[in-house]
Amino acid sequence: MSKLIISGSPHVHGDESVSKIMYTVVLALVPAMLVSVYFFGFDAIRVLAISVAACVFFEWLIQKYLIKGPLTINDGSAVVAGVLLAFNVPANLPWWILVIGALVTIGVGKMSFGGLGRNPFNPALVGRVFMLISFPVQMTSWPVPKPLFAPQLTDAITGPTALGILKEGIGAGKTIDQIMADPHMPDYIDRLTGNMSGSLGEMSAMALILGGIFMVIRKVIDWQVPVSIIATVYVFAGIFHLIDPQHYIEPAFHLFTGGLMLGAIYMATDMVSSPMSMKGKVVYGVGIGLLTIIIRLWGAYPEGISFAILILNAFTPLINMTMKPKRFGKATA
């Protein structure tokens, strides 16, 4: 028996690869891309192209001239970061701000920690929050969607988001009924389809959910993280709505406005910066859901999912440490 030597783990190999997983994520994002192009036309294509090209370029530049290691731009991770960064900005964002955001996403959020697999925070969210703090006017100037083939186009160029209308109305002392009567407030159909102002890829809940189901079926993500986030937001917001329905809006509003679906399905599920165990994923998702509603109800920003995910990213090592998966077998003397 002493001559029986085995190699270290892992002993079971699958046919998955980093590039296969990354391009599956890109494929899942296609419905939301098509919706953004439908509502914003050339601006959506411009933002997506600049963001992806800049992220791939900066990753190549840093690896070739600073790290001087093997190039990994073909694994698709920079493409995913570029698409997600584009999804988190308005369609009218100036190109130079987007390039700076891509530099922060790749340079700070990803490569400064050693590259893919070592980043503690979601790189695209690092870039998004940097731009939001550094360029608040440009990052909150939301273009009004102009659907292709629409018979009449609005004269307005920019307009408030649904969460912005809610935040401003609550701040002005209006009731929920008065806020919902605002002519700029999108109805339920518009919230589901994405016919409202917002970041490029966050608008259509239907398209994002469709891509999320595809990723769960392909086992690219686990359902525990998005489901625990969405359920927590619904329950937590629902409790306050039951207590005071004229001050706190119904919970479904929070699900289909802002970046909740985008964050819950595509950002919080980043396999590098999210917990490994099933229990850990649920704790992580509940924490993100609670923080998101806390920020939305009492914070300075109408949106909260980006900050909530980054904060829980910081807790991921602690969650992994306290909620380790059970080992199979045990050592014997």
- Over residues 221-276, the pLDDT tens digits come to 999 999 999 999 999 999 999 999 999 999 999 999 989 999 999 999 998 899 99
Please tell me the predicted confidence (pLDDT) of residue 154. Answer: 53
**Does pLDDT of 93 surpass 90?**
yes
Q: How confident is the model at residue 70 (pLDDT cuts 50, 70, 90)?
A: confident
The yes-or-no verdict on residue 167 having pLDDT over 60 is yes
Other Cβ atoms within 10 Å of 175 Cβ, number: 14
Q: How confident is the model at residue 91 (pLDDT cuts 50, 70, 90)?
A: very high
Q: Which two tokens stand for residue 107?
A: 């340079």
What's residue 115's pLDDT?
81
Q: What is the pLDDT of residue 310?
A: 96
pLDDT digits (tens, 9 = 90+) for 309-333: 999 999 999 999 998 766 666 666 5
Question: Do the beta carbons of residue 75 and residue 116 sit within 8 Å?
Answer: yes
Q: Which helix (H) or strand (E) holds 175?
A: none
195 and 39 Cβ atoms separated by less than 8 Å:
yes
Quickly list H helices, the chain.
18-40, 42-62, 77-87, 95-103, 123-134, 136-139, 162-171, 176-180, 188-193, 205-217, 224-243, 251-255, 260-262, 278-298, 305-322
